[in-house]
Chains A and B, each alone.
Chain A
Amino acid sequence: MAAARDATPDVSPVESAAADRRHPTLVQLLLRNRGVFWGGALLLVMVLLAVFGPLLTHNPMALNPIQRLKPPSAEIWFGTDFLGRDVFARVVHGGRISLVVGLAVALVAVSLGLVLGMVAGYIRTLDAVIMRVMDGLMAIPGILLAIALISLSGATLWTVVIAIVIPEIPRVVRLVRSVVLTVRGEPYVEAAIAVGTRLPLILGRHILPNTIAPLIVQATYICGSAMLTESILGFLGAGIPPEIPSWGNIMSEGRTYFQISPWIIFYPGVALAITVLAVNVVGDGLRDTLDPRIARKM
């Protein structure tokens, strides 16, 4: 602790403020972007609702047969479903599942894609093999692949995550590989090789940091599309087990009653759209700030 305090130079508040103006920190730079700010704020609201909301709502499983298919009102905000369950409570609970799936898919897809992409970009002999496999995987329609994987291995939260991850991997691999191929030709990497730096160090110190910015951007897009895919799988009846109130499952149950009680599909649909929109807007903002070259092109 003492060392840490000693290490901070004696800077007056005025000077540090001036330094802020010259060199904004990354966080400041990001928050200056409207997309990151508003998308992030919206996302934060959805996350807080998902984390703390379930503690405050009714039991999402509680049946109330007398109150079947009641339209939204002052007491029951989002109405009730065909078993009289409170749609608001179910939507709030469903948020947890969507966010967990989105986050888990993004993390797993990015980590697996990073490893495969680095290997493909750096080891010539494996490059051709890995990239052909990725080409093949890209040709398979993601939703069908996920449906097939889930129907074979049984539907649980984790099989759903894995089934959504697999079709997302090729894009990450391609991205990482292209960064690795660009960076390994840079003078500083050639210099590092020339002075005899070992491969793990080159990968870790010089290549990896260059992949982080595009990967973060990619991860947000994957998170958004994973949440959509999860809801589609749930809706088609091929996703997370139906007794768990995920947004896709709620909407799937609402299908039959759509003509008389459209709110069962409407509210989870809006919640999902808002969440995915927030994630995508943050992604666009991150791309504009972290990766100005691509940003100008889009």
Chain B
Amino acid sequence: MLRYILMRILATIPVMGVVALFVFLMLRLAPGDPAAVIAGDYATTEDVARIREQLGLNESIPVQFMKWTVSLAQGDLGTSIFTNLPVTTLIAQRIEPTMLLALTTIVFAVLVAVPLGTLAAWKSGSLVDRFVMLFSVGGFSVPVFVLGYMLIYVLAMWLKWLPVQGYKSPFEHGALMFVRHIALPTLTLSVIFIALIARMTRASVMEALQEDYIRTARAKGQSELRILLRHALRNAAVPIVTVIGIGIALLIGGVVVTESVYNVPGLGRLVLDAVLARDYPIIQGLILFFSFVYIVINLLIDLSYALLDPRIRY
């Protein structure tokens, strides 16, 4: 077991290496002088030279890569061109809303999608099942931001139940204010996630319900609820958890858009501000950061299989 965990952790290193190499080459292989692109149309020659110096573009590419990887390994994601702050500091300043939004979304989506998917599988072909399937196709067809604006229109502007935009930290403004402000972004971001998880839950619970042990459980007179929870859902857990891991990529993309719609000052806004200012080190650092999060979460999910399914041994 320990050996397996170690092997899996080691296996993430080449993947992170590829991510780093890709992000590194993106700037260097871009057409034209990257320093000039970053400096923008109104930059002076000195500005371009300063940026080139700051990005270390004057050295040979292998030397640049070596230096860059070494500082990355030390946890240095680079320095912002315009604010001159380390990218790690900027991430630390903005991470709270993003992390909380991601958390509330995952929790809400799982709480809604797993029961919904299980119910759809149990009553396959029923109205609930049809609704779940319709929702899962529809959820993948509406862009996150359109959904966001429609929810704002109905729930905030029309019914006036929730505030239109903004973010209130639970640590400064209390839990109630936080929940009121995070409710709409969470709802918006959850839809595609619910579609994804409900669909997978339905499929894998349906498959589990075909198994012999379900018939055995029914034969010995176990209650349907217990059969669904203890026998079917438990055995369907691995693919459901896997799809949640894959969905993290979706979530990261969605967070950027959702934060922009609801004016949440998180990492997504940091990226967009950086794009407008052409502050490339921030973009680069955030791509690395998000990829790292994705890899670590999927590693943890891989390792959780043994807990979810005692048949899996390493």
> Which residues of A pack against B, CB within 8 Å?
132-133, 135-145, 147-149, 151-154, 224-225, 228, 231-232, 235-238, 251, 258-259, 262, 265-266, 269-270, 272-273, 276-277, 280-281, 284, 297-298
B283 touches A148 (CB 8 A): yes
Q: Would A141 and B252 be within 8 Å (CB), given that A224-B141, A235-B143, A272-B146 are in contact?
A: yes
Q: Would A136 and B278 be within 8 Å (CB), given that A144-B286, A235-B145 are in contact?
A: no
* B275 part of interface (Cβ distance < 8 Å): yes
CB interface residues, B 273-302, toward A, < 8 Å:
275-276, 278, 280, 283-284, 286-287, 290-291, 294-295
Bound CA–CA A141/B284 (angstroms): 12
> What's the minimum C-beta distance from B67 to chain A, rounded to whole angstroms?
21
Q: Would A273 and B146 be within 8 Å (CB), given that A136-B18, A259-B157 are in contact?
A: yes
A277 touches B138 (CB 8 A): yes
CB interface residues, B 107-151, toward A, < 8 Å:
137-138, 140-146, 149-150
* B19 part of interface (Cβ distance < 8 Å): yes
Contact of A152 among B253, B257, B276, B280 (CB under 8 A): B280
* B271 part of interface (Cβ distance < 8 Å): yes
A138 touches B26 (CB 8 A): no
Q: Would A140 and B149 be within 8 Å (CB), given that A269-B143, A273-B141, A298-B199 are in contact?
A: no
* B166 part of interface (Cβ distance < 8 Å): no
Among B30-38, B57-65, B92-100, B212-220, the stretch that binds chain A is B30-38
> What's the minimum C-beta distance from B170 to chain A, rounded to whole angstroms?
26
A236 touches B256 (CB 8 A): yes
A145 touches B256 (CB 8 A): no
A262 touches B137 (CB 8 A): no
Residues from chain A with a CB closer than 8 A to the CB of B164 are 259
> What's the minimum C-beta distance from A239 to chain B, rounded to whole angstroms?
11
B275 touches A151 (CB 8 A): yes
13 other A-B residue contacts (CB within 8 Å) besides A132-B14, A140-B290, A144-B256? A136-B19, A139-B295, A140-B291, A141-B253, A143-B252, A232-B143, A236-B257, A238-B272, A251-B146, A266-B149, A269-B143, A269-B146, A270-B146
Residues from chain B with a CB closer than 8 A to the CB of A277 are 137-138, 141
* B249 part of interface (Cβ distance < 8 Å): yes
A153 touches B30 (CB 8 A): yes
CB-CB nearest in chain B for A233: B257
> What's the minimum C-beta distance from B180 to chain A, rounded to whole angstroms?
19
Bound CA–CA A124/B150 (angstroms): 50
B15 touches A148 (CB 8 A): no
A152 touches B287 (CB 8 A): no
Bound CA–CA A47/B153 (angstroms): 30
Contact of B143 among A132, A137, A237, A272 (CB under 8 A): A272
11 examples of A-B residue contacts, CB within 8 angstroms: A135-B14, A139-B249, A139-B295, A140-B290, A141-B291, A151-B280, A225-B140, A231-B143, A235-B145, A269-B143, A298-B203
CB-CB nearest in chain B for A133: B18
Residues from chain A with a CB closer than 8 A to the CB of B15 are 132, 135-136, 139
B294 touches A232 (CB 8 A): no
B280 touches A136 (CB 8 A): no
Residues from chain B with a CB closer than 8 A to the CB of A136 are 14-19, 21-22
CB-CB nearest in chain A for B200: A298
